[in-house]
Structure 1
Amino acid sequence: MKKHINLLREFSIPLLAGVFTALVWANINPQEYQTFISSPLLGGVNLHFVVNELFMVLFFGIAAVEITQSCLPGGDLNPPRKAINPLLSTLGGVVGPVIVYLGLNAVAGDSALTRGWGIPTATDIALAWLVARMVFGAGHPAVSFLLLLAVADDAIGLAIIAIFYPDPSHPVEPLWLFLTVAAIVIAYILRSAKVKNYWPYVILGGGLSWAGLFNAHLHPALALVFIIPFLPHPPRESVHLFEDDPRDTSTLASFEHDWKIVVDFGLFLFGLANAGVGFSTMGTATWLVLAALVVGKTAGIFAMGTMGKYLGFPLPDKVGKKELLLTGLVAGTGLTVALFVAGVAFVEPDIQGSAKMGALLSGGVALVAVILGRALNVRRIP
């Protein structure tokens, strides 16, 4: 049973099943689907609120764990010189899509679509990892390099959501952010008091942080991002991204171990609540998002990674120009975070649905990357 569960998680089956179910349901019976996700549940909140405002707190919390661990001494982003090329490539993978999106929108789009520039900036970590393993093999250094890019640009994506995508119908009320500041102080006090159980951090710090963001009209899904770095952890990191370290029994590792399975299977509900868009909504925003993800990510990562190499910051061993090109292409898989940002970037249902369709179509990168990898004779390392 454990083996089957791990296979489901490894291949992102819950997320893909949720996306497929939502797409079929929304196109066969859109009224029933909309009623399902918007009808009040317990406490008067609907499924969309439960998933995007509550469950996604855990999703971004797990992402914050990976970022925290990778920044520790011995981690993949420490020391800074070791991380220069991945970070330059990450910058290209964020700026490239923005340039492509805004450039194409200026030529053939609409001013109403400008707000969607942040949608293609992040990478779906789980799906990109899966596709990279298919293209390069599990042991290829390009897989770890891609994971670094995905984690780093998701960190930037978190900042973009927090800064640039407040609720347009509710102006930001910054005074409430003092609650989030208080939450950070509480987490610091708990850490100083050597509290080893993560629950006080999550309930006291996370709860107060959530309340501050929610009442300030900023997205509360980021609540744990401010708390996670304070969870006690080892002074050094001894494994790579997404590798389990059985020797690490720290508070940070315990939180990830206990909640990652919940997040992995909970992504079914995320896909169900967010991917239900009709094919009839495909429009300009669809192609803007798709082009920005596929062309912008590929070109940006390739250009900046190559520039970093010529500046004296080498790429990983066995990662040449064709591997770097494929890495950029695979990073164009924007599904989860792109869907999330599309949901906060646009309020108008047709535009939102059109943008989400672009995020969904970016999943087709997988097939293109596998075919291109074979055509370029990229050697797979099991």
Structure 2
Amino acid sequence: MYRVSPFVRHFAFALLSGIGLATLWVNLAAGSYYDAIEWRLLSLSLPGWLSSTPFVVTPLSLVADGLMALFLFFVGKELWEALILERGALSGKRAVLPLAAMIGGWIGAVVAWLVIGALVETALEATPGVGWAVPIGSDVVLGYLIGRRVFGPGHPALHLLLLLTIGNDIAGLVALGLVDPAADLRILWLGLTALAVAAVWWGFARHARAELTERDHRRAFQLWPYMLAGAVSWLGVVLAGLPGALGLLPLIPVIPHADRAFGLFAEAEEFLHDPLNRLAHLLVKPIAVVLFLFGLTRGGIDLLALAPTTVTVLGAMWLGKPLGLLIAAAVVGIWGYAMPAGVRFRDLVLVALISGIGFTVPVLALDTALPGGGMAEAARAGCALSMAMGLLVILIARLRQKA
């Protein structure tokens, strides 16, 4: 079984370092912390045909809507390869159980959010069902850090965990963009994104076919056209009113890639020279910085913010998502679709529990899916507390080994 590249651990440590520093800062000097992350770097009044609201850039928005697009591109590339490449983890019938488990987890998280919120929520600004998109996302890098400790670096269950958390994160952002009540959706601007994708495919990517000349291949393997198209694609997504973090994903299918998958974040991919893998390699060090900045700008946990919304978050992530995932997997298993080779049901239980850790994408969703103030801060505290599930899973795994 292939090895996962060690840079994913570095991502996790960078994110946790940012969260730790932000939490210390916000609890010692909350005023200066919020002043820093909400400092206006740029403010422009745009024509109405571009946007109905002023264009404001703060460290908070720069990281969330701009830099995090690089991270989503990086993990989206892995999901795309799993779907379409030879030996991909989601190719053919192998896709059925992971996809069913993923969807079951989403449904379970949303149902638990709605039920628990209706029972315990006391915030005056809460409305029925508000914020249901928050618990859909998971956490790729923190989930990997825990999963590697539990399963080891080459276990098939670790690869299944990565697959589920990547899918959860992308689904969580898409759901957020579609249900955000404050979003100024102008879907026609996605035509700009489609134009960028079509132009780079026609002018460059299509020349990567094996039967064409060496000159055509060199043309297709240049990186700058895909970088330029990515910038235009991101602009189209932002102008359409969708989360900027999704802005680079539409470009992934047209970028020339390897012929077969080596696995999610496989160490072997570091030796590939197709444009998609070269772009991913270039992003490794910048993404560590991005995740540190994300933790710094979004990870400040107010230790006094615990409230009923915290319970709703933890109920959705710790109960709803794992139960939904396991029930869906059991149902498709009864229909004859087997789990990935080397993964037993008790491994799947641990995978389901780890998928209940949610920080990056759930925290991204807070400011738009929930009313601001105490409710959002209580939910942020719940997302932080969800990381405690990792300690429980490690304990369960150790007890299982001793039994």
TM-score normalised over the length of structure 1: 0.90
Instruction: State the AA in 1 paired with 2:224.
Output: W
Mapped to 1, the partners of 2:148 and 2:61 lie a distance apart of: 34
Contact 1:10/1:130, CA 8 A, preserved across alignment = no
* Pairing 1:92-171 to 2, within 5 Å after superposition: 92-109=104-121, 111-112=126-127, 114-165=129-180, 168=182, 170-171=183-184
- 1:240-269, Cα deviation, whole Å (9 max, x unpaired): 111032442100000100002211232110
Tell me the residue number matched to 2:243.
Answer: 219
Structure 1 segments (4+ residues) deviating >6 Å: none
Tell me the residue number matched to 2:388.
Answer: 364
Contact 1:104/1:288, CA 8 A, preserved across alignment = yes
Select the residue among 182, 189, 192 that pairs with 2:206.
Answer: 192
Mapped to 2, the partners of 1:345 and 1:22 lie a distance apart of: 22
- 1:153-208, Cα deviation, whole Å (9 max, x unpaired): 22322321332236x0x5322332222222222232232244222321222x2222
Tell me the residue number matched to 1:39.
Answer: 39
Residue 374 (str. 1) matches residue 389 (str. 2): no
Q: Which has the higher helix share?
A: 1
Mapped to 1, the partners of 2:11 and 2:230 lie a distance apart of: 30
Instruction: State the AA in 2 paired with 1:104.
Output: I
Q: What is the total number of aligned residue pairs between the two structures?
A: 371
Partner of 1:295: helix, strand, or coil? helix
Please, what is the CA RMSD of the aligned residues? 2.3
Q: CA deviation at 1:318?
A: 4.1
Tell me the residue number matched to 2:49.
Answer: none
Contact 2:133/2:175, CA 8 A, preserved across alignment = yes
Residue 51 (str. 1) matches residue 86 (str. 2): no
Select the residue among 345, 357, 367 that pairs with 1:343.
Answer: 367
Contact 1:76/1:83, CA 8 A, preserved across alignment = no
- 1:322-358, Cα deviation, whole Å (9 max, x unpaired): 2221110011111111111223312412222111111
Instruction: State the AA in 2 paired with 1:177.
Output: L
Q: CA deviation at 1:225?
A: 0.6
TM-score normalised over the length of structure 2: 0.86
Tell me the residue number matched to 1:25.
Answer: 25
Q: CA deviation at 1:46?
A: 1.9
Tell me the residue number matched to 1:334.
Answer: 358
Q: CA deviation at 1:140?
A: 2.2
Residue 181 (str. 1) matches residue 194 (str. 2): yes
Instruction: State the AA in 2 paired with 1:94.
Output: W
Instruction: State the AA in 2 paired with 1:293.
Output: M
Q: 1:174 to 1:181 in 2, by over 3 A?
A: same
Instruction: State the AA in 1 paired with 2:143.
Output: A
Mapped to 2, the partners of 1:246 and 1:59 lie a distance apart of: 17
Tell me the residue number matched to 2:103.
Answer: 91
Mapped to 2, the partners of 1:162 and 1:235 lie a distance apart of: 33
Instruction: State the AA in 1 paired with 2:146.
Output: V
Instruction: State the AA in 1 paired with 2:303.
Output: F
Q: CA deviation at 1:61?
A: 0.9
Contact 2:88/2:260, CA 8 A, preserved across alignment = no
Identity %: 29
